[in-house]
Structure 1
Amino acid sequence: MTHNFDVVVLGGGIGGYTAAIRAAQLGKSVAIVEQDKLGGTCLHRGCIPSKALLRSAELFAAMKESESYGILAEGVKLDFNKVQTRKTAIVDQLHSGVQYLMKKNKIEVFRGKGCIIGPSIFSPRSGTVSVEQEDGEYLSLVPNALIIATGSRPRSLPGLSIDGEFLLSSDDALTMEALPASMIIIGGGVIGVEWASMLSDFGVQVTVVEYAPRLLPGEDEDVSRELERLLKKRGVTVHTGAKVLPETVRTGAGGVTLSVEKKNGTLELSADKALVCVGRQANVEGIGLENTDVKIENGFIRVNDFMQTAESHIYAVGDCIGGVQLAHAASHEGIMAAEHAAGRNPHGYAAHRVPRCVYSRPEIASVGWTERQAAEQGFELKIAKLPFKPLSKALVYGETDGFIKVIANKRSNDILGVHMIGPHVTDFISEAALAQLLEATPWEVGQTIHPHPTLSELLGEAMMAVDGQSISF
C-alpha cells in the first residue's frame, strides 16, 4: 500500500515530532514513522526520566539538611521504588500529551521500522520510506520532503562491553530497581556529571573517571574547576586525565574492578557497578541511507544551515546530525527544517547560541563562547565574574555556591558568552541567550530591571560589572 504526504518524518523523538507539528501548522500533510514510542530518547530514556530522578535526589539531600532551616525531620528514608514509580508516571503523562498533539494536528503515525529507498516506481527520486509494520506487512510513504530524526544511543569504549548488570549504559541506569552502594562513572561529561550528582545525593559512593584534563571539557574552565571542587566537597572521588583500560575490566559477584592509567601510574578501582557515559552515537545504520546521496561524516549526517542533506528534499535534525546534542536544539532544528521544506525562509543555525544546561547540584547553564574559545578567535576580552555567596536570594535558599561569568568583546561590546554555576541557573539562562540573539550589550542587560530578591539579579550585576558599574559588588 502506498500513501503520499507533503512531509514524512522518520523518527518520533522531540526533533521529529516538533518538525511534524510545525509542518502541519503550515498546512502540510504529515506522517511520522516510529518503531518505538513517540517522544524518543528525551522523553523515555533521557531528559525527562533523568530530571525526575534528579529532583528526588535533590529533595532527599535537602531533607537531610533541613535542620539548618529550622525543620527537624528525623528518620528520613529513601524508597527508591517510589522514586521510580514517580518517574514513570511523569513519563507516561507526557507521552499521552505527545500522542494528543499528533491527533490535534492531524498527523498520521505509522508504527514500525522505516527504511529509505532509492528511486522506484513510487517516486523518481530517493526518499520514499518503506515501513515494516508490527504485523509484518509493508507499506510505502512517498513524501515531497523527508525529515530524518532517528536520534542516537549510548556509546561505549572500544573493547568495553556493556552487559546491563555490572556495566551499565545511561539507559540501563534509568531502570535500576535498587541503588548500588558504590558506582564508578566512566565519563565526566554532561551525562556523567548529572549521574554523579544524583547518585551522590541518593547516598551512593561515586567515583568519576574522565579522560580529559577536566570535567565538562566543553564548558568554561572556571565552571569545570568549581564543579569539581563542589563534587569533591560532597564526597565524590574525581579522576581527570585518566584513561580506562578496557582489558582490565572484571565483573562478577564482587562487582566491577578496572584499572585507569594516569600520568603518575596505574590505579585500580572497584565498585558494585560501573556506568559508562562516554557520549552518544547517531542512529544512522539500517535506515537506508545507502540508497541516497546523503553524506555521513564522523558517524553523523552532514547538513547545511537549514538542515538539508546532500539531497535538497531530504533533511536531518537532532542527535543524528551531531553538533549540540540537546533536546531543545533538536526541537529548534526540526522547526527550521519544516519551515524550509514548506518554502519559508528561516534564519540560519548558530550552534554557539544554543543554551547548554547541566542539571547537577548546583546547576550549570551557559550560552556562547567559553573564555578560551573567544580568545582563540582573536577577540579582545573584558570579563566579569560575580559569586552567588553575597546574594540575598541565594542566602534565603541556603544555596550560595557558584558564580556568573560574563565575557564580552572589548571593542564591539558584544556579549560573547555567559557561564553560570549555581542555584537554579537553568531557569534564567534564556535571558542571556535572548541578549545574544538581539545583539544586546552588557550595559543594556544590566539596565533591565531585575526584581528583588531573585537569583537573576546576579546576572544583571555581572553584566554591569563588565564595565565596572556593578552596584552591589
Structure 2
Amino acid sequence: MAENSFDVVVVGAGPGGYVAAIRSAQLGMKTAVVEREHLGGICLNWGCIPTKALLRSADVFRTMKHASAYGLKVSGAEADLAAIVKRSRGVASQLSAGVKHLLKKNKVTVIDGEGKLAGKGMLAVTKDGVTQTVSAKNIILATGARARTFPGLEPDGKVVVTYKGALTPETMPKKLLVVGSGAIGIEFASFYHALGAQVTVVEVMDRIVPAEDEEISGFLEKSLKKDGLTILTKTSVKGIKVAGGIATCAIDQNGTVSDQQFDRVILAVGIQPNTENLGLEGTAIKTDRGFIQIDDYCATGEPGVYAIGDITPGPWLAHKASHEAILCVEKIAGQHVHPLDRSRIPGCTYCHPQIASVGLTEKKAKDAGYQVKVGRFPFMGNGKAIALGEPEGLVKTIYDAKTGELLGAHMIGAEVTEMIQGFSIAMTLETTEAEIMHTVFPHPTLSEMMHESTLDAFGRAIHF
C-alpha cells in the first residue's frame, strides 16, 4: 500500500474522529486522521471538558461560601478568574496531549490540514496553501459543529460571545445575558452566577432545558430563581447593539419589547454542522439543514463515505459521536454490530443542580400510546443526600404499565450525571421493574433513590 494510501481516513479528530481512528487501527486497518486545528476537537478543547473544569471551580467556591453549614469556618474566600481559566485550559491541554499519545500508540497517521472529498476514494488535504492527495478505501467524515448565530445576534468576541469566548473571560461580567437555555447556556449561566455575576437567561420556548421532562424543567427553573437568576421564557432577543463595552439588547417578552443593557452576552442558540467545504457537491451525499443523512451504520449515500457525530442528526453529544465511531468502523471491518438506538442515549447537564436523563419523557411516553406508571423519589428522603448537604433533587422513573419495561428516567440533583448510567445499562438489558426491585443497592448512597423511585412507581416505596 502506498505511503499516502489507507484503508480508513477519518476527517476530524474530535470524540468521534479520534475514537474511529483508534478503533480502526486496533482492527488492523491502515489508518489516518486529518485534523486542521486541535486533536480532541471542540469537546475536549472548547466544550465538554474545559466547561466541566470551570464548573468544578464554581462548585468548590459555592461550597466554600456555605462552609458554615458543614461546621467549618472560611473567611476571605475569593474567586481568581484568571487562575480558574488557566486551570481549565490546562486540563484541556493535558487531555489533548493524551489523544496525541493514543493515536501514536495505535500507529495512526496524523495529517495536519483541512480535508475535502476529491473523487472516489480520494481526499485533498490542504495546509498553509499546500495540498496533498490521500487515497482511502473508506472515508469517515467527523468534522463536528460550531456555534450557530442569527442575523442581528452576531458575536464580536468581546462583549457578545459564543462558547469559546465564554470559556476564556478576561474579566467577570457584572450583568450577563445568556441567550438559550439548553445544556450549554444553562451550564454557563450556572458558572457565572456562582462566581458573582447577575445572570439573566432568555429562552424562546415556554420552559428552560426544553428537551428535558417537563417536571425536571420546572424543578430546575424554581431552583435557579430561588438562587437568584432571572429566567425569562417565551422570550426572544430581537437585536443586540454594542457600544462602549455595553450590549443593549432588544428583548421581546410576550410581544413587549424592551431595551436592557448587559456587559456580556453569551449566545447559546444551537449548533451549525461543519459540512461546508467538504466537497459534498457532486456526490450522492444528502443533507438536511446541513446535517449529513446516514443509514443505521453511518454510511452516507456515497459508497465508501461515512459520517459520524455532530454533522449527522442529533442528539449532538460527544458520547453519541464516540459510539457511532465504533459501530461505523466495526461495520467497515465486517464485524456484526447493532445499530444505534437514539432513544437510549443519556443526556447530562452540569449546572447546579445537575440534570441527567435517558429514554422517553412522561409526555412522550403518553403521546406514544403507552399506559405508564411513574415513580418519584426526592433527595430529601435520602440519607446520603442529607449528609452531603444536598437535599434538593428528584429521581423520576417511567415504566410501561403493561409490561414493566423501563421507558425513561429523569433526575435532577447532586451527582445525577454519575448515576444515569445505571438506568442506561438497565434499558440496554431491556430491564423491567422486577430486576431493579430485586437488585440490592448499597447504603448509604444516592443510587438508592433509583431503587426507591422504581418502588414508588408500583406503590411500594419504603422511605417516601
TM value normalised by structure 1: 0.96
> More displaced, 258-267 or 13-22?
258-267
User: Could you say which residue in structure 1 is the equivalent of 2:262?
Assistant: 271
The separation in 1 between residues aligned to 2:303 and 2:376, in whole angstroms, is 45
Offset of 1:127 from its aligned partner?
3.6
Measured against aligned partners, the alpha-carbon deviations of 1:103-158 in whole angstroms (never above 9, x if no partner) come to 1100000001111112xxxxxxx241111134x33221111111100000000123
Match of 1:289 in 2: 280
* Rounded Cα–Cα distance in structure 2 between residues aligned with 1:466 and 1:150: 43
In the aligned structure 1, how far is the partner of 2:147 from the partner of 2:316? 12
Structure 1 segment 328-339 matched on structure 2, within 5 A: 328-339=319-330
Task: Name the residue aligned to 2:64.
Answer: 63
Asked if 1:462 is matched to 2:450, the reply is no
Structure 2 CA distance, aligned partners of 1:7 and 1:185?
41
Moved more, 289-298 or 74-83: 289-298
**How far apart are the structure 2 equivalents of 1:437 and 1:269?**
48
Confirm whether residue 392 of structure 1 aligns to residue 393 of structure 2. Answer: no
Among 222, 234, 238, the residue aligned to 1:241: 234
**C-alpha distance in 1, partners of 2:160/2:86?**
24
Partner amino acid, structure 1, of 2:124: S
The amino acid of 2:127's aligned partner reads Q
1:123 matched to which residue of 2?
none
Per the TM alignment, residue 58 of structure 1 is displaced from its structure 2 partner at its CA by 0.8
CA–CA distance in 2 between the matches of 1:466 and 1:310?
Answer: 45
Residue 443 of structure 1 and its aligned partner are, at CA, apart by 2.4
Residue 153 in structure 1 maps to residue 153 in structure 2? no
Segments of 5+ residues of structure 1 without an aligned counterpart are 119-125
Counterpart of 2:26 in structure 1 is 25
TM superposition shift of 1:264? 5.8
How many residues align? The count is 463
Secondary structure of the residue that 1:199 maps to in structure 2?
helix
Alpha-carbon contact 1:21-1:107 (below 8 Å) kept: yes
Is the CA contact 2:381–2:463 (under 8 Å) kept in the aligned structure 1? no
Are the aligned partners of 2:178 and 2:266 in contact in 1 as well (CA < 8 Å)? yes
Q: How far apart, in 2, do the equivalents of 1:210 and 1:137 lie? A: 45
Once residues 414 and 143 of structure 1 are traced to their aligned partners in structure 2, the CA distance between those partners, rounded to angstroms, is 44
Aligned twin of 1:471: 462
Unpaired runs of 5+ in structure 2? Answer: none
Paired residue secondary structure (2:395)? strand
What residue number does 1:76 align with?
Answer: 77
> What is the deviation of 1:268?
2.8
> Is 1:408 matched up with 2:399?
yes
| Aligned counterparts of 1:275 and 1:83: Cα–Cα separation in 2 | 19
Q: Is the 8 A contact 1:282 1:322 kept in 2?
A: no
Do the aligned residues in 1 keep the contact of 2:398 with 2:407 (CA within 8 Å)? yes
**CA shift at 1:254, angstroms?**
5.2
Distance 2:250 2:38 in 1: 38
State the Cα distance separating 1:410 from its structure 2 match.
0.7
Q: Deviations over 1:192-238 (max 9, x none)?
A: 11111111111110000000000011110001000000110111000
2:122 corresponds to 1:131? no
Aligned mates of 1:101, 1:354 — CA distance in 2:
26
Could you tell me whether the CA contact under 8 Å between 1:128 and 1:143 is conserved in 2?
A: yes
Per the alignment, residue 199 of structure 1 pairs with 192
Q: 1:289 to 1:264 in 2, by over 3 A?
A: closer
2:100 aligned partner: 99
Matches within 5 A, 1:336-415: 336-415=327-406
Task: Decide whether the 8 Å contact of 2:373 with 2:399 is kept in 1.
Answer: yes
How far off is 1:2 after superposition?
A: 6.6
Counterpart of 1:36 in structure 2 is 37
> Bigger shift: 93-102 or 438-447?
438-447
How many percent of aligned residue pairs carry the same amino acid? Answer: 41
Letter in 1 for 2:419: F
Q: 1:3 aligned to 2:29? A: no
Amino acid at match of 2:122: T
Deviation per CA, 1:361-404: give whole Å up to 9, x if none.
11100000111111111111110111101210100110111100
**Aligned equivalents of 1:311, 1:215: Cα separation in 2:** 39
Following superposition, which runs of at least 4 residues in structure 1 exceed 3 angstroms of deviation? none
Q: Distance in 2 between matches of 1:285 and 1:84?
A: 32
2:316 is matched with 325
**Counterparts of 2:161 and 2:204 in 1: how far apart (Å)?**
18
CA distance in 2, matches of 1:442, 1:216: 28
Task: Tell me whether 9-18 or 313-322 shows the greater mean CA deviation.
Answer: 313-322
**Alpha-carbon separation, structure 2, partners of 1:264 and 1:105:** 57
Q: Which amino acid aligns with 2:123?
A: V
Shift of 1:262: 2.1
Mapped contact 1:2–1:140 kept (Cα < 8 A): no
Q: Which amino acid aligns with 1:166?
A: V
CA distance in 2, matches of 1:312, 1:471: 57
> Quick one: structure 1 residues 323 and 282, their matched pair in 2 at CA, closer, same or farther if it must change by over 3 Å?
same
Counterpart Cα distance in 2 of 1:2 and 1:86:
40
Matched residues in 2 for 1:425 and 1:447: separation?
Answer: 22
The one-letter amino acid of 1:230's match is: S
Contact kept in structure 1, 2:64 and 2:74, CA below 8 Å:
yes
Tell me if 1:447 matches 2:438. Answer: yes
1:459 and 1:384 mapped to 2: Cα distance? 10
Relative to 1, partners in 2 of residues 1:143 and 1:254: Cα closer, same or farther, differing over 3 Å? Answer: closer
